Structure 1
Amino acid sequence: MHTPAFRLAALAGLATLLVASIAPAHGFVDVLDQPAATSALASQRLLLATAVAGKRLVAAGARGHIIFSDDLGRSWQQAKVPVSADLTALHFVDAKSGWAVGHEGVVLHTRDGGATWTLQLDGRRANKLVLDRVQHLPAGTDPTVLEALKSEADRAMSDGPSRPFLDVWFANAREGYVVGAYNLIFHTRDGGESWEPWVDRTENPRFYHLYGIRGGSDGVYVAGELGLMLHLDPATGRFAAVQTPYEGSYFGLLTKPGLVLAYGMRGTAYRSRDGGAHWEQVDTGITASITGSQVLPDGRLLLCSQAGDVLVSDDDGVHFRRVATKQPMPYTGLAVEGDVLVLSGLRGVRVESIRLPR
């Protein structure tokens, strides 16, 4: 199986080394049992995701660090987080309610705009839920599919709670999804109070990693490695495979009415205007892996890359232009609040007042 250089090898490997370097001398403490340590340098360390909660800026990353700012990034406070697992993605549905996901199968929830977080799911419970699911699939399930699912569930149990969630998306305050490595996908209808594994509802027989999930009026899409693209069929409740021209890894996607844009390695991006039936390549003008995206309130599209590029499009991805930033670094995510651009990366968080070109 292809191992993506960005999400699992580079970031996860670096984050794991960071955590290992601060392990207590007297013995191992599981990151699921250890709250995130307070650090005055949290805003300057590895951060993998950014989001906006109302007017508040939020960022999350290594060691379970989540920080937030109520003054457009002039100062940052550290949130109370019950785990020290590395966090990979953030999503808010309003100014108060949001979710963070990460390594060790962690799903966190906040009700106060990111100041305090509670654990909704971890890898220990996730593994058991998946195993129980595949052990109780209907008798008519294809034997080959059933055997593959059971084998993968057993492998996950043997590996322990190590498999990461890599993205999270909620349609509203009640219904949402988390996706991750080796076909991990969970669904909730009650705001995360309970989670149901959907590992048997994806057309992903090789258990490719699922990197990104987004949805909207045109449906819900999942992007993954080796060109994997899935689209939720509301009639069957299953994610069906969508053919795209690309065989490399997609690291994420963005959606808006009438548009799906998937992006990934070496500046690659493809867009579809007809629900995934046809795809056309986008000339991003860059060769670095694209790591983050956002649809602005006015419909324009933003992308960032691990080489420090920021791109904007005002024609639904037909063309992209570079946005100059004062302190570029390898970026992992971005978000916008008004004229403020907040970017996460290997050296923490950068906030710049900027007017995007039209």
Structure 2
Amino acid sequence: MCSFKKALALLLVLWQAVAQASGYVDVLDLPARPSALAVRSPLLDVTSAGQRLVAVGQRGHILYSDDDGKQWQQASVPVSSDLNAVYFPTPEQGWAVGNDGVVLHSSDAGATWKKQLDGRQIGALSVKHYAALAAADPDNEQWPLRVADGQRLVEEGADKPLLDLWFADDKLGYVVGVFNLILRTEDGGQNWTPFQDRTDNPQNFHLNAITSTGDGLYIAGEQGLLLKWDDAAQRFAAVQTPYQGSFFGVVGKPGEALVYGLRGNVLRSTDGGLSWTPFDSGLQVSVTAATVDAQGHYRMFSQAGHMLVARDDSPRLQLVPQQNPSPVAGAALAADGSLVLVGTRGARALLEQ
């Protein structure tokens, strides 16, 4: 997740602390307000739901477009928490996550949403789950520590952002967030299992993004943390890379993966994550979003609004000039093959370049 997304998340936490003193209604209980300006307000992610595009952002705004991003409608959302990511494994079934540990679900391609989970429940889930493991395995010293971590979540309240999510289908999925927060569902979000013990992340670094490249499921995190799902071990195992700065995302296709992050750093692997080589971006600002375009080329975007494209087997990303660039937080391929971007200025369709 990009740095300005984190800043927005932290600002909301501070705002809530002040507002609580004045008797406000919790954003987890306050439906998002309809706004004609929602399409131009900060949006943090966009994805496709079949032929439809769905974008999420501040104050619980969720927008959807059925004409490749030209016009947008606002969805019905039961919370006003900032939303950080959205994903649809099928054209109808989708999930969104955000601040306050919120998980939302839609079964109608993003037109309406229901809350499945929030930060007021996650701590108690962790305590219950790890207490049961401690009772079954009293000699394992990690379980009491996990119980204590869950209890801290209970005491601190619903202030832990979820930053990203990924679903294999309409049943199996993961949500990830700050301080190694990760949960898994196998029934479409009806039940969630804490998964903090299934990551090689002893320092509890933030989990910024989770992505499948088609033949590998990766989690990108801060301070060089990169994890990959190990099916035999049933855990997210650490992947070694030559960069120790924060990663904000992974993009790829079968046989290839690119991880990107701070200061324009992009690394490429063609051997399932066993080795990584620098992919020259020519930038010194963070790469914050990426996707694959209709021609199969990687498109990457920076927090300053740069667009980079990787064509053929070139080891260098090519800078594509932009008019009036603005920070990009998310990018998606529309049904007509065009690209739609979201960021601090809302949603916009990218002209063919």
User: Normalising to structure 2: TM-score of the pair?
Assistant: 0.92
What is the CA–CA distance in structure 2 between the aligned matches of 1:274 and 1:320, rounded to whole Å?
20
Deviation track 1:57-93 (CA, whole Å, cap 9, x = no partner) reads 2211110001112223332211000111100011112
Aligned residues: 350
**Residue 352 of structure 1: aligned partner:** 350
Contact 1:182–1:207 (8 Å) recurs in 2:
yes
- Superposition CA RMSD, Å: 2.3
**Residue 234 of structure 2: aligned partner:** 237
What is the CA–CA distance in structure 2 between the aligned matches of 1:88 and 1:214, rounded to whole Å?
15
Contact 2:263–2:286 (8 Å) recurs in 1:
yes
After superposing the two structures, state which structure 1 stretch, 12-21 or 131-140, moved more: 12-21
Q: Secondary structure at the match of 2:223?
A: coil
What is the CA–CA distance in structure 2 between the aligned matches of 1:5 and 1:74, rounded to whole Å?
28
Deviation of residue 324 (structure 1)? 3.7
Q: 1:35 to 1:317 in 2, by over 3 A?
A: farther
What is the CA–CA distance in structure 2 between the aligned matches of 1:25 and 1:77, rounded to whole Å?
34
Deviation track 1:253-288 (CA, whole Å, cap 9, x = no partner) reads 113111121111111111111111111111112121
Q: Aligned partner of 1:122: which letter?
A: D
Q: Secondary structure at the match of 1:101?
A: strand
Contact 2:213–2:257 (8 Å) recurs in 1:
no
Gaps of 5+ in 2: none
Contact 2:213–2:256 (8 Å) recurs in 1:
no
Is 1:39 matched up with 2:35? yes
Deviation of residue 296 (structure 1)? 3.4
Deviation track 1:97-121 (CA, whole Å, cap 9, x = no partner) reads 2111101111111111111111111
What is the CA–CA distance in structure 1 between the aligned matches of 2:21 and 2:232, rounded to whole Å?
54
Q: 1:301 to 1:19 in 2, by over 3 A?
A: farther
Contact 1:4–1:225 (8 Å) recurs in 2:
no
After superposing the two structures, state which structure 1 stretch, 312-321 or 12-21, moved more: 12-21
Deviation track 1:290-327 (CA, whole Å, cap 9, x = no partner) reads 11111235432121111001222133673322234444
**Residue 249 of structure 2: aligned partner:** 252
Deviation track 1:199-257 (CA, whole Å, cap 9, x = no partner) reads 11111111111011112442211110111111111112111111111111111111311
Is 1:52 matched up with 2:70? no
What is the CA–CA distance in structure 2 between the aligned matches of 1:20 and 1:96, rounded to whole Å?
36
Which of 162, 175, 187 is 1:178 aligned to? 175
Q: 1:274 to 1:48 in 2, by over 3 A?
A: same
Q: Aligned partner of 2:349: which letter?
A: V
Q: 1:218 to 1:283 in 2, by over 3 A?
A: same
Within 5 A, what are the aligned runs for 1:76-155? 76-137=72-133, 138-139=136-137, 142-143=140-141, 145-155=142-152
User: Normalising to structure 1: TM-score of the pair?
Assistant: 0.91
Deviation of residue 165 (structure 1)? 0.8
Gaps of 5+ in 1: none
Which of 274, 277, 284 is 1:287 aligned to? 284
Q: Aligned partner of 1:222: which letter?
A: I
Is 1:70 matched up with 2:66? yes
Q: Secondary structure at the match of 2:122?
A: helix
Deviation of residue 152 (structure 1)? 2.2
